[in-house]
Amino acid sequence: MALQSLLAMSRDDLQKVIAIRDPSAAGYVPSECLVHLIRRTRIDNSESQFDRLYREIMRRIDAVMPRVQGERMDKAENIHAAGARDRVRDAFNERLASDRNEPGPGLDYFEVMFADAIAALRASALRKTGREARRTEPIERNPETNEPSLAVERAVGSLDIEEMLLSDDPIYRSRVAAAIDALPDKQRRVIEMIRQGMQLDSSDDAVLSIRKVLDVAEKTVRNRRDAAIESIRKTLEIGSADD
């Protein structure tokens, strides 16, 4: 539905179309339009209208977040899903509160490409909650070198790249793919091999590892991987490793 048509509606009529939940139905209000209308309530000074719009936009945010299931679901997975959902909600609410206090660019991306913006927040939130979960678990280390085990290295190395490339949003997927393509050749090769399921290194001569293919030290492989991931994060503007 065109934004101009929505702006011309009475509040009662607007409430009716906001209640339409099927994206393929006539009259369905795009999320980008909802964001615009929410921002506009600051001018209209209508708290009741803001509340209606806010509840719907938060419902749509929750709809694309990992599900928090019942007690039968693994507790760690439940905590991970709930933590990611709360981070995304908090990040959006912070931008919204700031915009209502003093309009700025914080919500512009959401008003233009809502799905893309939420996908970026979601990827960042899942990465952070996953990192926090790993911090609470003992890290397996190689008894000889005291370096993190290969299992830990693979988990950290894969990070969220595959999940990003499997995003439901095609624009976001294309941005991730472009960020990988823009990497220096040495970094891109490491990421591509990680995506193919290759280990950073292996003591088993029969296992083809990234270190063996590139004929460099394992530390060099890790450094290239870490630099590549940090470059991708910066390109997508989803935070750094220390966030």
What percent of the chain lies above the pLDDT cut of 90?
19
pLDDT at position 33:
92
Please report the pLDDT score of residue 72 as a whole number: 47
Domain ranges of the chain: 1-137, 142-243
CA distance 78 to 12: 38
Give, in order, the Cα–Cα distances in Å from 206 to each of 63, 64, 194, 195, 212.
45, 42, 18, 20, 11
H helix intervals, the chain:
3-7, 11-18, 31-44, 47-63, 75-101, 108-112, 114-135, 150-158, 161-165, 170-181, 185-195, 210-214, 218-236
Report the pLDDT value the prediction gives residue 7, as an integer from 0 to 100. Answer: 83
Q: Is 141 helix (H, G, I), strand (E, B) or coil?
A: strand
CA dist 167 → 48, 103, 124, 146, 235 (Å): 34, 30, 13, 36, 17
Prediction pTM value: 0.54
- The more confidently predicted of residues 227 and 159 is 227
How big is the chain by its Cα radius of gyration, in Å?
22
Q: Report pLDDT digits (tens) over 135-183.
A: 454 444 445 444 444 444 444 444 456 556 655 566 767 888 888 889 9
Residue 229 has pLDDT above 50, yes or no: yes
Tell me the pLDDT tens digit for each residue of 191-221.
888 877 788 888 877 788 888 889 999 899 9
Most confident of 48-62, 63-77, 110-124, 168-182: 48-62
